[in-house]
Structure 1
Amino acid sequence: MATEKGGERAKDIMRLGPVDLKDATSNPAPLGLMGFGMTTVLLNMHNAGWFALGSMILAMGIFYGGIAQIIAGIMEWKKGNTFGTTAFTSYGLFWLTLVFLLLMPQFGWWEGPENNAMIAYFFMWGLFTLYMFIGTLRLNRALQVVFFTLTILFFLLAIRDYTGSATIAMITGYEGIFCGFTAIYAACAQVLNEVYGRTVLPLGPVKR
C-alpha cells in the first residue's frame, strides 16, 4: 500500500509540471561593501595622521569590517556567487587577522610581528587583490575602481613598512580613504538603485 501511495504522489507531482524556483534572498553585496568601506576609511584616517589607533577602529575591524563581511560572504555563497564569497569572506578575515596582530602582543600571547613579516603580510594581500581586480574586469566599473585602489593600498602599506617613510605613510592614508569611499559608493549605488527601481547612482556595467 505504501508503494502504491508513493507512486500516486509521484504522478501528481509530474502532472504539476516544472516548478519555477526563484531566488528571493536579498543582495548581500552592499553589506559587505559598507563593512569594508567604512572600516577602511576610518583606519586610513589614522594612517593619514588624523587621530590615534584606538578601540573605535579595532571594534570596527572586528564587527563591521570582519564579522559583517564574513556574513555577507556566506550569503553570497548561498546565492552561488564565487567572486562575492571569496572577496567578502577573505577581507572579513583580513580585518580579523589585522586586529588580532595588533591585540595579541598586548595580551602577552605572542610577541608582535617583525617588520619584515608585516611587509610580507601586506604584499601577499596585494597579490590576492590584484587577481581579484582582474576578475572585476568582467563585472562593473565601480568594483574595478574599488579593487584597483585597494591593490595600490596594500602595496603602499608594504612599501611604507619597508621604507619607514612618514611621507609614504601619509600618502597611503589618503589613498586608503579614497579606496574606502569608492566601496561605500558601490554599496550606496546598489541599495538606492534597487529601492528606486532605476539607476540613481551608476555602477558602470561591463558589456560582455
Structure 2
Amino acid sequence: MTYDNNPDIKAGNNMSSSDSNTDDVEAGRYGPLAHINTAESRVPAFGGEFQPGLYRSPKNRKIANPAPLGLCGFALTTFMLGCIQMNVRGITKPNIIVGPALVYGGLVQLLSGMWEMAAGNTFGATVLSSYGGFWISIAITFIPGGFNIIGALEEADKGSPILFYNSFALYLMAWFIFTFLIMLCTVKSTVAFFSLFFVVDLSILLIALAYFYPNAHEMPNEGLMKAGGLLAFLGAFLAWYNAFAGIADNSNSFFIVPVVHFPWSEKRRSARMTKTASEGA
C-alpha cells in the first residue's frame, strides 16, 4: 500500500510524541494499517487486508492482520498445483499436494478465515474459510488409499475413470461459480486484488473442462490441463503479491508494493475530484 501520498497518513503523522506509544496501542494503530489515521472513518480497498471496498479502520484491534497468512497458504498450495498440472520436472501424480492441502492451504487458511471473522471482515472470513475447506476436500479426494473416493468411482464405472472425471469436474464447476461470485465483489477494488480471483476462476474452469473432455486414452485433456495449471501458477504469485502488500510497511521494508486502483473505484474518483477542485481554484 502506498503511504507517502495518502493525505490520511500525513494527518496521522502530526500526532504529538507524548501520545504516540500509548495511543497507538489503545487505538490499534499497528500492523499493515500502522501509518493510517484511524480517526478517519473509512480507507480504500486493499488486497493486503483482504478488503474489497471502503471499510472502517480498526480502532481497538487486538489481533494481527490474518489475511497475509491465509493468502500465503492459498498461494503455496496453488503454486504446487499449477506445477503438477503443467508436469514440471515430469511430475504427473498429485500425491505431494496432499500434505500442504491438508495443513497449510487447508487448516491454516481455515483458521485465518476464522480470525477474519473475529476481526469483523465478512469477505475475508467467507473467502479464506471456504478455500481452506476447498483444499482440505482436495486432499481428502487424493489421499492414496484413504477415503478411496477415486477407487470407488472407478469400480462403479467398471474400471473406467470417466465417472470420477465427471464427478470431479462438477465439483470444480461449483467452485468456479463460487469464485465468480466472489470476483464480482472485487471489481471496485485494486487491480492485483481483482486479478487474483479472475485468474483463479479461469484456472478452475479450465481444469474442470479438462476432466469433462478427456482424450481418447481416457486421460484429462492435456492442453486444457496445462493452461489451467499455468493460470494457477500465475494466481499463486498474485496471492503472494497481495500477502506481501499486507505484511510490508515502512517499519520492515525498504519499499512498499504499488496498489493500483481501478479508474472507477472510490479512491480514483476521489483523486479526480480533488484534482478538479484544485485546478478550478
Instruction: Please classify the TM superposition score into its range, dividing by the shorter chain length.
Output: 0.7 to 0.9
Aligned to 1:130: 180
1 CA distance for matches of 2:211 and 2:171?
A: 11
1 CA distance for matches of 2:227 and 2:257?
A: 28
2:72 maps to 1:22: no
The RMSD of aligned alpha carbons is 2.2
Range with bigger deviation, 170-179 or 121-130: 170-179
2:117 maps to 1:77: yes
TM-score (norm 2): 0.62
Match of 2:260 among 171, 194, 204: 204
**Contact 2:250 2:256 survives alignment (8 Å):** no
Task: Kindly tell me the number of residue pairs found equivalent between the two proteins.
Answer: 189
2 CA distance for matches of 1:43 and 1:25?
A: 31
2 CA distance for matches of 1:82 and 1:22?
A: 18
Give the 3-state SS of the residue equivalent to 1:193 in structure 2: coil
TM-score (norm 1): 0.83
Aligned to 1:116: 166
Aligned to 1:107: 146
What amino acid maps onto 1:71 in structure 2? L
2 CA distance for matches of 1:82 and 1:126?
A: 20
Aligned to 1:172: 228
Encode CA deviations 1:104-138: one digit per residue, 9 max, x unaligned. x7236541462211111111100000010011123
Range with bigger deviation, 109-118 or 124-133: 109-118
Deviation at 1:67, TM superposition (A): 0.6
Give the 3-state SS of the residue equivalent to 1:106 in structure 2: coil
Deviation at 1:54, TM superposition (A): 5.1
Encode CA deviations 1:37-73: one digit per residue, 9 max, x unaligned. 1110011101100124355321110111001111110
1 CA distance for matches of 2:201 and 2:193?
A: 12
Aligned to 1:142: 192
2:132 maps to 1:87: no
Larger relative contact order (C-alpha < 8 A, sep ≥ 6)?
1
Give the 3-state SS of the residue equivalent to 2:249 in structure 1: helix
Aligned to 1:16: none
More helix by share: 1
Task: Provide closer, same or farther for how the CA distance between residues 56 and 25 of structure 1 changes in structure 2, counting only shifts above 3 A.
Answer: same
Unmatched 5+ stretches in structure 2: 1-25, 28-58, 154-162, 215-220, 267-281
2:117 maps to 1:61: no
Aligned to 2:44: none
Aligned to 2:136: 96
Deviation at 1:102, TM superposition (A): 1.2
**Contact 2:94 2:142 survives alignment (8 Å):** no
Range with bigger deviation, 152-161 or 196-205: 196-205
1 CA distance for matches of 2:193 and 2:229?
A: 20
Deviation at 1:24, TM superposition (A): 2.9
**Contact 1:33 1:187 survives alignment (8 Å):** yes
Task: Provide closer, same or farther for how the CA distance between residues 26 and 42 of structure 1 changes in structure 2, counting only shifts above 3 A.
Answer: same
2 CA distance for matches of 1:29 and 1:181?
A: 15
